Amino acid sequence: MGKTLAIIHTTPLTIEPLKRLAQDYLPSFEVINFVDDSILPQLRRNGGKVEEVEERLIQYTKYAEQAGASIILNACSSVGEVVDKARKQLSVPIIRIDEAMGEEAMNHGKKIGVIATLSTTLNPTVKLLEQIAIEYKKTVDIHSVLAEEAYQYLIQGDPDEHDLILAEQLSELAKKVDIVVLAQASMARAVAKLPEEQQKKFLTSPELGMERVKQTIEGLT
């Protein structure tokens, strides 16, 4: 069995952080990246209609399999729902980066905060949590926050201002809920701006997602 992890990105911002995590969790694996940065702008224009980009994303998973991937990670929560359809067309496992995070959130109380800087990511993450809550037979109260202003700074090339604005909103949301779910991998860095004791109230998808990749690989060997 080959040792190749393919990661499908919708922004170049997630390439380096996930590559570093892959080195930590799967040091013997080669990482190959597929990036399509036209997907998020298209979803913003069409109001989050994932079906318009679905076929393209499934093609990337097929290319990844053809390129020798032994496992695939979908790095974008905005298009996470495509993973279920892709699974039916692949012979290698594909992992949704935010699934493990959603499951973990269920273990931290009934009031769950969700924050995103993109509406196209906020709605799918809330939907994921609702689905997991049904599977876990748990009643949850989901508080969602959209921090669009932060995203504008990020795409303008000002990640520090992005982190500053986001950290303020994270801190406010954390006071109202038991646990906060960060809907985008690119938001994880903002948590580091908060006091250490407060950081425990936040769940981010990159590490939990990569941990799930590792567990899946170990289950195959």
How far is CA 52 from each of CA 126, 218, 220, rounded to the nearest angstrom?
20, 34, 33
**Does residue 134 register a pLDDT over 80?**
yes
Question: What single letter denotes the amino acid at residue 67?
Answer: A
The domains of the chain, with CATH numbers, are 4-97+207-220 (3.40.50.1860), 100-204 (3.40.50.1860)
Phi, psi of 159 (to 5 degrees): -65, -30
How far is CA 128 from each of CA 26, 30, 61, 89, 131, rounded to the nearest angstrom?
26, 30, 21, 21, 5
CB-CB contact of 1 with 221 (8 Å): yes
Mean pLDDT of 55-64: 97
The confidence score (pLDDT) of residue 217 equals: 93
* Residues above pLDDT 90, as percent of the chain: 76
How buried is 134 (Cβ within 10 angstroms: 0-12 exposed, 13-18 middle, 19+ buried)?
A: exposed
**Cα(132)–Cα(126) distance, rounded to whole angstroms?**
10
**Does residue 2 register a pLDDT over 70?**
no
CB-CB contact of 210 with 25 (8 Å): yes
**pTM (two decimals):** 0.89
Mean pLDDT of 113-128: 92
